[in-house]
Amino acid sequence: MILLLAAFGSRGDIDPFVALGRALVSAGHEVRLVTQREFCDLGRGSGLDMRPIDMDSSRHLLGLPAARTALRRDYDPVAIARLMSALTPQFERIYRGTLAAARGVGAMLCHPMAFPALDVANHLGIPVVEVHHVPAVRTRAFPSATGHRIGPTLGPLGNRLSYAADDWGAWKLTGRIMNRLGREVLGRPPLSTRQALNLRRQRVGVIVGVSPKVLPRPDDWPAEVIMTGYLRDSAQTDGMLDHATSRFVAAGAPPILVTLGSTPTLDPNRVSQLLVAAARRAGLRIVLQRGVAGLAHSFDPRWVHLVEDLDYHQILGRVAAVVHHGGAGTLAQVLAHGKPSVVLPSFADQFFWAHRVPALGVGPRPLPLRRLTESALAQRLAEVTANPEYGSRATIIGAGIDAEDGPGAAAVAVNDLLT
């Protein structure tokens, strides 16, 4: 069977689909992966038939005025609606690129929020298996990603209702755009809110690419929701650090890695200064990843080593702990390497994963990025490095993650769901 994987977003959104695609190829499927051109090299040599879409880079999109306004206004609905409008040309390219890639396939695998892909699949009559990096299946056990901005639980009923609120809110923010593009690209009539939300209910199953060591499977999920473990390439090794980073790491006690991944910031210099000052106050050296946030400043090279993009596999085995944004992929890598965390969540699913860190005993309570202060972060850094229980728990969880074959289990699940 020819399978189409549709993956869009940041590097952390694409990596799991590449790992899953490799496993599906090994299971005998012909696999296409449609994604942004900037990420197509990730599938090189994997047997995947890469179908690139020419879109603006994720860094460029995060720097759009509408994106910065949404960040400044803490992602309120009006700002998000304006950001979605600014992204309309990108959505159109996703529609057209996915439609072209979907011709002749037997099934599609995509993220539940990738509405253009779901719309194309419905238009062509292609069965869909959703692939979740953060669970988006209704449950009484915990709230949705958006619900976690309020807290780690809203009560059984509130938890379950938060997923319906997410779906309804997402369509209200994007429905006008999606209906226009659906008419222009697919020739379909406008969808009502009920019809749009029903597209997800037509899925044949769900792959939740999360380790049950990190998030136990809720008892009220239906049987077609399958938790497989993280969709990560376990064959990757720690590799070799560049000479300058290796020399810095070896110059003293293991440093702290600080990374905000694909999270943008309005004032990179201020955030950088706070991060460095907090580490100095705690007596810690740091490796500071510049990343999308643009973290940089003039620092004492004895205490701070600045890097651009960095392969986590090359550094995580050599640091004491990680300060990060709470992205699903980042937390997965940090835990897989047995490292404790201090999480600075900002938006999207970051609050969901931030709340898992203290629940698992692998780090202190999260510190939202908008509330970042030198003293608050210094306190958490001192705590995460002084409490050996955090490292011990992270090591145990990491061993459990290493024992899983998430992509292999997902490939088996896909076969079962589609036969």
Span 132-187, pLDDT tens digits: 999 999 999 999 999 998 999 999 999 999 999 999 999 999 999 999 999 999 99
Predicted confidence at residue 65, as pLDDT, reads: 87
Give the pLDDT of residue 261.
84
**What structural domains does the chain harbor?**
2-230+404-418 (3.40.50.2000), 243-402 (3.40.50.2000)
CA distance linking residue 14 with residue 47, whole number of Å: 16
DSSP letter string, 217-240: PPTTS-TTEEE------TT-----
Element holding 413 (H helix, E strand): helix 406-418
Indicate the burial class of 124 (C-beta count within 10 angstroms; 0-12, 13-18, 19 or more).
middle
What is the average pLDDT across 243-264? 92
Dihedral pair phi/psi, residue 294, rounded to 5°: 70, 30
pLDDT digits 0-9 by tens, 5-60 = 999 988 889 999 999 999 999 999 999 999 999 999 998 888 999 999 999 887 78
DSSP for 90-159, written as a single string: HHHHHHHHHHHHHTT-SEEEE-TT-HHHHHHHHHHT--EEEEESS--S--SSS--TTGGGT-S--HHHHH
Output b/e per residue, 37-69; b: 16+ Cβ within 10 A.
ebbbebbeebebbbbbbebeebeebbeeebbbb
CA distances from 237 to 240, 295, 312, 314, 317 (A): 9, 27, 10, 8, 10
Task: Tell me which of 74-83, 120-129, 280-289 is least confident.
Answer: 74-83
Query: What is residue 179's predicted lDDT score, i.e. its pLDDT?
Result: 98
At 414 the pLDDT is 98
Kindly tell me if the per-residue pLDDT of 266 is higher than 90: no
Residue 76 scores a pLDDT above 90: no
- Asked whether residue 244 carries a pLDDT value surpassing 80, the answer given is yes
Q: Give the pLDDT confidence score for residue 10 in this predicted structure.
A: 86
Buried b (16+ CB within 10 A) or exposed e, 138-169: bbbbbbbbbbbbeebebeeeebbbbbeebbee
Which is higher by pLDDT, 376 or 267?
376
- Confidence band of 68 (pLDDT split at 50, 70, 90): confident
SS3 of 4, please? Answer: strand
Residue 200 has pLDDT above 90, yes or no: no
For the four alpha carbons of 26, 32, 36 and 40, in that order, the dihedral sign comes to positive
Asked if pLDDT for residue 297 goes beyond 80, the answer is: no
Could you report the per-residue pLDDT of 338-362, keeping only the tens digit for each?
999 999 999 889 999 999 999 999 9
| Residue 236: band (very low, low, confident or very high) from pLDDT cuts 50, 70, 90 | low
What is the reported pLDDT for 364?
98
Residues 298-334 pLDDT 10s: 789 999 999 987 888 889 999 999 999 999 999 999 9
Torsion over CA: 156, 157, 160, 166 (sign): negative
The CA distance from 105 to 121, in Å, is 10
What whole-number distance in Å separates Cα of residue 159 and Cα of residue 148?
A: 9
Residues contacting residue 216 through CB under 8 Å, at least 6 positions apart:
none
- Mean pLDDT, range 83-101, rounded to an integer: 96
Q: What is the pLDDT of residue 29?
A: 97
pLDDT surpasses 80 at 253:
yes
3-class SS at 394?
Answer: helix
Locus of tokens 């938006």:
347
